[in-house]
Chains A and B, each alone.
Chain A
Amino acid sequence: MKKISTPYLLLLPGFAFLLTFFVFPIVSLAQVSTATPVSGGDIDDFEQTFRFRNYLEAFLDSREHFGRSIIYALLATLIALLISYPLAYALAFKSGKYKNVLLVLVVAPFFTSFLLRTVAWKQILGEEGFVVPPLRALGLISESTTLTSTAGAVILGMAYNFLPFMTLPLYASIDRIDPRTLEASGDLYANGFTTFRKVTLPLSMPGVVAGTLLTFIPAAGDYVNAELLGGPNNTMIGNVIQSRFLIPDYPTTSALSFMLMAAILIIVVVYIRKAGTDEVV
């Protein structure tokens, strides 16, 4: 009854668009990544010379930034998970009739521009904010200690900014758990901790996987938090890509982008294999 061609017709416009403006750009990024400047040409003229050394040079120049990006993003993801899991659990099981109100409240902060919220953190934690001066007055931190321009500020800023990407998938998968399975576990003499470890956590794994990926991926490529909340020693690979792009040094920009994507894909694939779930989306 249903025509075979129908799904393909439905897919056609969207996939034509994605092929042109997603797949094709990735290919052209690959082309640019092995190009070299045209001698005597304009500053943004590059020609294809298949110079794969671009990758090696780009990597050697910014391996510290790569390392920092991965470590910061992992820590931010971990912190976001530790904050979000109990929150999502409470929303799903403990919020009763206020469930919908609280769910709106979780998302609401993200209706304010993310740049303004990050600038707000910068000012709150900054020298003229309302945190540092009282701490100084009490002698809890020394005159030279700052809260901004630190790795901690960058990591906390990222954990904050990507929190809804963690909380919402977690909530969706915890909310789907039948509370009777938890009761059954209790009836079988499991204590609270065992119930969590053997029942709740495994059942919520799709949410954990989706949430950690949706947090880790944007965090690894982010440069706004590092720029606003970090100092010169906290720059990430995103900052390098951005500054190279402004020169403009498109080959290095492209090579770094490719390596970032490759690193993320490898981590994602290994992680999904380990976590043993296909339900990512």
Chain B
Amino acid sequence: MTSQNRESIVSKRPLGASISRWFGKNLIRVYMALAFTYLFIPVVYTFVFSFNDSGKSNITWQGFTFDKWLYPCGAPRVCEALGNSIKIGLLSTIFSTILGTLIAFAIGRYAFRGRSASNLLIFLPMATPEIVLGASILSLFLVLQISPGFWPTVIAHVVFCVSFVVVTVKARIASLDPRLEQAAMDLYANEFQTFRRVTLPLVAPGIAAAALLAFSLSFDDFIITNFNSGNVTTFPKFIYGAAARGIPAQANVIASAVFFLALALVIVGQVVSRKRKVS
């Protein structure tokens, strides 16, 4: 629609004035279209090349095939790497969500001595570059003579996920109306019942969002994983290792599938939360 507009104005070519008026009116739309194009170019590229009938390296277009989608584990070790990433992601999500939610309740709900120091301790891991975090956690494992591998990776992931969980859940707690809890207390609910029946259900969407964020941070992490995982190959590590000799199209299939799955999850989440608001 907008491109038609432009053509009609350009073809009339009345004066520079009307062109600039059109741009003034639609500038923000043109801008958004450009920004979204920039954002989506590599995503679309990755998706298109998941259909490439390529051999080992997936750089030039060889022809269309569905094979890679039918046999996503066809490339050696790609599904093993994916499995590791999912396992590490789930474990670090569980641990970081529990630890982070407890901290968020403490900081968000209570005034206590050392609250600002606590906030600082939460902020610091986010302000530390991944490479420093990765190297320092590894140096601890080396001092303790623990060799890098699966569990060191999980621990390292929990370290950087906790802060993001705290920030997300804290924001949700801060937006709660304290009168709801007071009302529950007025209706003779004790502290525990109020928490179970009122506070927790209200904070739950924040906890769910935090868990999703933690999983996606862990799943996509490369730098910290590279330091602490030893011989364990995660999906990002697989891609990095394959980048030199050619990434199999199956990696594009898996990445695209993850993309659509995550998109579906977010859309379902939005629809559910909107229905709740309406009812």
Contacts and interface: CB of A to CB of B under 8 A. Distances in A.
Given A11-B103, A112-B255, A107 B220 contact: no
A17 B191 CA distance: 28
Nearest to B31: A86
A221 B127 contact: no
Contact of B131 (A25, A87, A257): A257
A116 interface: yes
A115 B139 contact: no
Nearest to A258: B132
A15 B226 CA distance: 25
Given A128-B59, A228-B243, A280-B123, A260 B136 contact: no
A26 B105 CA distance: 27
B119 interface: yes
Nearest to A259: B132
Interface string B117-151: 01101111111111111011101101100000000
Nearest to B48: A120
A119 B57 CA distance: 12
Contacts of A224: 222-223, 240
Given A29-B139, A104-B263, A128-B59, A114 B159 contact: no
A123 B45 contact: yes
Contact of B130 (A25, A218, A228, A280): A218
A261 B132 contact: yes
A139 interface: no
Interface in A100-159: 100, 102, 104-121, 123-124, 126, 128
Contacts of A113: 220, 235-236, 239, 251, 255, 258
A38 to B, nearest CB: 14
B71 interface: no
B42 A121 contact: yes
Interface stretch (B10-18, B33-41, B196-204): B33-41
Interface residues of A, number: 81
Nearest to B152: A21
Contact of A6 (B49, B59, B110, B132): B110
A70 interface: no
Contacts of A1: 191
Contacts of A21: 137, 140, 155-156, 158-159
Contact of B135 (A22, A87, A160, A245): A245
Contacts of B167: 281
Contact of A241 (B42, B131, B216, B235): B131
B28 interface: yes
B71 to A, nearest CB: 19
A104 B127 CA distance: 26
A52 interface: no
Contacts of B142: 32, 44, 250
Contacts of B259: 108, 111-112
Interface in A226-251: 228, 238, 241-242, 245, 250
A90 B31 contact: yes
Contacts of B220: 110, 113-114
B162 interface: yes
A28 B143 contact: yes
Contact of A83 (B38, B135, B159, B223): B38
Most chain B CB inside 10 Å of its own CB: which residue of A26, A213, A258: A26
Nearest to A280: B123
Contacts of B252: 116
A223 interface: yes
A163 interface: yes
Contacts of B267: 104
A273 interface: no
Interface in B247-268: 247, 251-252, 255-256, 258-259, 262-263, 266-267
B35 A261 contact: no
A8 B251 CA distance: 45
9 contacts: A7-B115, A28-B139, A104-B270, A109-B39, A116-B42, A128-B59, A224-B222, A238-B223, A281-B126
Given A10-B106, A22-B159, A117-B42, 15 more contacts: A7-B115, A10-B110, A14-B102, A26-B128, A29-B132, A31-B139, A104-B266, A104-B267, A108-B259, A112-B46, A114-B220, A126-B59, A221-B223, A222-B131, A268-B127
Q: Which 7 A-B pairs give the minimum distances between C-beta atoms?
A: A221-B129, A120-B42, A10-B106, A7-B110, A111-B262, A14-B99, A25-B136
